[in-house]
Amino acid sequence: MQLERFECRDDPERLAAQLRSRVPAPASVHETVAEIIAGVRQGGDEALLAYTRRFDTAGSDPGPLMVTDEELDRAARELPSDVRRGLEVAVENVSRVARAALHTPEPVSFEGHEVILREAPVRRAGVYVPGGRAPYPSTVVMGAVTARVAGVTDVVVCAPPGPGGDVHPVVLGACRLAGVSSAYRMGGAQAVAALAYGTESVRPVDVIVGPGNLYVQEAKRQVFGQVGIDGFAGPSDVLVIADAEADPEPIALDLLAQSEHGPGTLVIAVSTSAQLLELLAQRVGAGNDTGAVAALVHAEDLGLALALAEAFAPEHLELVGAEAERLAPSVASAGCLFVGAGGATAFGDYVAGSNHVLPTNGAARFSSGLSPAHFRRRFAEVRIGDGAGALARAAAPVARAEGFELHARSMEARIGDNGPR
């Protein structure tokens, strides 16, 4: 793993940009993805299966696109008992945290009318679960359970089949435990196209969420507007702020754990202690060939460390040590915040109850992690009674100033026998 050292004395925003630059921007796949999406829109199942053979199964024939209920039941039964128990804990904890995000609408009352801010779930949501390096049953839980709590009645999962033509059984078992309505053997940009536009076997969805490679994320970007998406999930990152009293060994393990995501991953430790950073350098830089990039930053004080974190806007931010932990109330730009020596990022990936589908590449400045809000539409219910006249007299001149005479007259028609004033 590539290891670099930096000093943070001033201008933390410049240093944040410098750290981001250590992971080069990926080559554009816009045109390739556009061709795949067009191919699936035109060719339906036939094109979808052709792309699956080309990109996922190494030329062999995949299983049927849709996984049957019997296959899901069998996969759930055959899960190793410890894996099943872990997934059940994750389902319960993610459900509890997601339910806490819901709220009951309350009317806003005026003299003569009221406005109720309402929410309603989308009808059908698609969760993309990556394949490639490893199966990700945890992503099934994060996406499907959150959609269920949001009230989505039809939650579908897709995951790329391997060379044997099937999706990993631990993913299918997680689908059953998480209450997935249906699962598909498909991945890549072609799966995103199928979920967005539909094929003979795949019904289109309203929202697509979940991580994936560059082709998947570019496909989500291109179909946005046809469907909703959660955001653009790029390479993973973690930033740890540790004070001089922090134990370096758990921090080193957290950095190494995140580096398992492979090339493009950025793991950063920031501390006022040169001694702690030296111990981390010895532990993190010792032959860990994951393709990730590690950075160790010496900050003159914790205020500068926090300013660097805010400018960097990490996907995961850890605060370790009593002094560092006191920074928590001031954090505003992080995908997920972990406070204390026990707060390993890995807990958030699996069972803490927070969601692991998080904004990356600095998007935590303006974007949020996956939540029920991604699966719910917000709209206003307006009930106008005796206040119609007063509202019309206020609004009609504004409508006429904009050149919309009929807008003005439609409101004034509600004034009643007294006519416009």
Taking the C-alpha atoms of residue 255 and residue 355, their distance in angstroms, rounded to an integer, is 19
Task: Supply the CATH number for residue 248's domain.
Answer: 3.40.50.1980
Q: How high does pLDDT run on average in the chain? A: 93
Does one domain contain both 40 and 8? no
Distance of CA 341 to the CA centre of its chain: 25
Residues in the chain: 421
How many helices and strands (H and E) does the chain possess?
16, 15
In a domain, 125, yes or no: yes
Whether pTM > 0.85 for this model: the answer is yes
Query: Tokens in use for 188?
Result: 């890549």
DSSP secondary structure letter of residue 74: H
In single-letter form, the type of residue at position 51 comes to Y
User: Alpha-carbon distance 325 to 240, whole Å?
Assistant: 11
Domain boundary among the residues 198, 230, 262 is at 230
Tell me, what's the pLDDT at 417?
A: 52
- Answer yes or no: do 12 and 52 share one domain: no
Query: How many independent structural domains does the chain possess?
Result: 3
Q: State whether 70 and 197 are in the same domain.
A: yes
Positions of E strands within 260-327: 266-271, 293-299, 316-320
Please check the confidence at residue 148 and state whether its pLDDT lies above 90.
Answer: yes
93 and 166, same domain (yes or no): yes
- pLDDT on residue 290: 81
On whether residue 369 sits in a domain, the answer given is no
Whether the pLDDT of residue 227 is over 70: the answer is yes
Residue of 254, 274, 273 lying closest to 265 (CA atoms): 254
Tokens of 12: 């933390």
Q: What angle do CA 396, 399, 401 make, to 5 degrees?
A: 110
Tell me which residue has tokens 């556009």.
34
Helix, strand, coil share (%) of the chain residues, nearest 5: 45, 20, 40
| Shared-domain flag, residues 36 and 185 | yes
Q: Are residues 203 and 346 in the same domain?
A: no
Mean per-residue pLDDT for 30-55? 95
Task: Give the per-residue pLDDT at 309.
Answer: 97
Q: Are residues 297 and 417 in the same domain?
A: no
381: in domain: no
245 lies in the same domain as 326: yes
Q: What CA–CA distances, in Å, run from 320 to 31, 303, 313, 359?
A: 44, 14, 17, 22
Of the listed ranges 25-29, 43-47, 94-98, the least confidently predicted one is 25-29
Q: Is residue 366 part of a domain?
A: no
Buried b (16+ CB within 10 A) or exposed e, 363-378: bbeebbbbbbbbbbee
Decide if 370 is inside a domain. no
Q: Is residue 139 part of a domain?
A: yes
Specify whether 172 is located in the same domain as 105: yes
Distance CA 286, CA 289 (A): 9
Instruction: Kindly tell me if the per-residue pLDDT of 55 is higher than 70.
Output: yes
What's the confidence (pLDDT) of residue 420? 45
Binning pLDDT at 50, 70 and 90, where does residue 381 land? Answer: very high
Comparing CA positions, the residue from 148, 123, 19, 140 lying closest to residue 87 is 140
The mean-pLDDT minimum among 178-182, 258-262, 270-274 falls in: 258-262
Residue 234 confidence (pLDDT):
77
Q: Kindly tell me if the per-residue pLDDT of 83 is higher than 50.
A: yes
Residue 421, pLDDT > 70, answer: no
What digits encode the pLDDT tens for the residues 289-318?
A: 788 999 999 999 999 999 999 999 999 999
**Do 48 and 142 sit in the same domain of this protein?**
yes
Q: What is the pLDDT of residue 286?
A: 67
Q: Is residue 416 part of a domain?
A: yes
Q: Which of 142, 173, 189, 158 is nearest to 62 (CA)?
A: 158
70 and 184 belong to one structural domain: yes
Which residues fall within 8 angstroms of residue 84, CB to CB, at 6 or more apart? 76, 173, 177
- Among 212, 230, 248, the domain boundary falls at 230
Residues 201 and 302 in one domain: no
Please indicate, yes or no, if residue 362 is contained in any of the structural domains.
no
Percent of the chain with pLDDT over 90: 82
C-alpha–C-alpha distance, residues 88 and 177, integer Å: 7
Domain that holds residue 405: 387-421
Out of 230, 253, 283, a domain closes at: 230
- pLDDT at 291 (0 to 100): 84
**Residue 418, pLDDT above cutoff 60:** no
- Active-site amino acid positions: 315-316
356 pLDDT above the threshold of 90: yes
pLDDT value of position 287: 61
Output DSSP code: residue 98: H
Mean pLDDT of 226-230: 96
Q: In percent, how much of the chain has pLDDT > 70?
A: 98
Pairwise pLDDT comparison (20 vs 286), residue with the higher score? 20
Using DSSP's 3-state secondary structure scheme, residue 119 falls into strand
